[in-house]
Amino acid sequence: MSEATLSLVSDRIVFEGNRAIVDALGLHYRDLNQLLWTLTEAGAEDLLVRNVNGHRYIGTNLRQRVRVVLEGVPGNDLGAFMDGPEITCSGDAQDGCGNTMNSGRLVINGSAGDILGHSMRGGQLYVRRNVGYRVGIHMKEYGDTRPVIVIGGTAQHFVGEYMAGGMLILLGRHLGPAEVHPSRYIGTGMHGGVMYVRGRVDEHFLGKEVGIADPEPADMMIVGQYVQTYGRLFGVDVDDLLTDPFVKLYPKTKRPYGRLYAY
């Protein structure tokens, strides 16, 4: 940061114990992210950032287990490469949330844009309402590290595309009993992980690599844990959701395109 920027931000930080309240109005996104990193390195455990307005990459360089609350609408790649923090967004978020996220938790109290959880490899991501296109694309897992995405509403096309690991839960809370999830090409190229969808899915909308089954009781015990967490985070009664039918979507093979590359 330049000396002029440091002088500017010093007037915009208020400390309340271990909590730092930051006013992001007028700050370049690079300066805001550098400021958040500096505060956490100095020992701040709780950050409240006000007047967020399209600032990109918030949380990218934060590795401590710090709590961050954002008031406003962050820009693309919220929590990209995040490794440890818990970030709560007070409203909507844009594209690329949780991009290549490694650990921690993102909580979005509204809707989110496209490519949510792109290449996500750990941590948890909760969205209260709807999400855009290609959510969960290239999700992956390794050993005991398993990413989880829970979406309260619906997703647009290509949800779970090329999914290689992890878990994606789609609740469709606003859908009626006869309504079908609108996403098409679900799980195209899927070769790992699992999706659980509450309500109806048109099998014609599934990628040809995807199998469909009724969840086992053991599946629903796991799903129930994450749905209950969703309910606590957003103050939503989820008991009725868990009594509704779910479908389990899984990859039929780990090498869906093997014939294209094998001689």
Find, among 262, 256, 149, 151, the residue nearest to 206 by Cα.
Answer: 256
Average pLDDT over every residue of 177-199: 94
Model confidence at 1: pLDDT above 50: no
What is the domain count for the chain?
2
- The answer to the question of residue 102 being in a domain is no
CA 50 – CA 196 distance, rounded (Å): 35
Say yes or no: 132 and 86 in one domain. Answer: no
Say yes or no: 126 and 153 in one domain. Answer: yes
Say yes or no: 160 and 242 in one domain. Answer: yes
Say yes or no: 45 and 147 in one domain. Answer: no
Model confidence at 6: pLDDT above 50: no
CA 87 – CA 123 distance, rounded (Å): 12
Say yes or no: 173 and 251 in one domain. Answer: yes
Model confidence at 113: pLDDT above 70: yes
pLDDT class of 63 with cuts at 50, 70, 90: confident
- The answer to the question of residue 104 being in a domain is no
Find, among 173, 94, 190, 85, the residue nearest to 133 by Cα.
Answer: 94
State pLDDT tens for residues 76-108.
999 999 999 999 999 999 999 999 999 999 999
Number of C-beta neighbours around residue 37 at 10 A? 17
User: What whole-number percentage of the chain has pLDDT above 70?
Assistant: 94
pTM value?
Answer: 0.93
Q: Which residues contact 175 (CB under 8 A, 6 or more apart)?
A: 154, 181, 199, 200
Average pLDDT over every residue of 25-36: 92
Say yes or no: 249 and 120 in one domain. Answer: yes
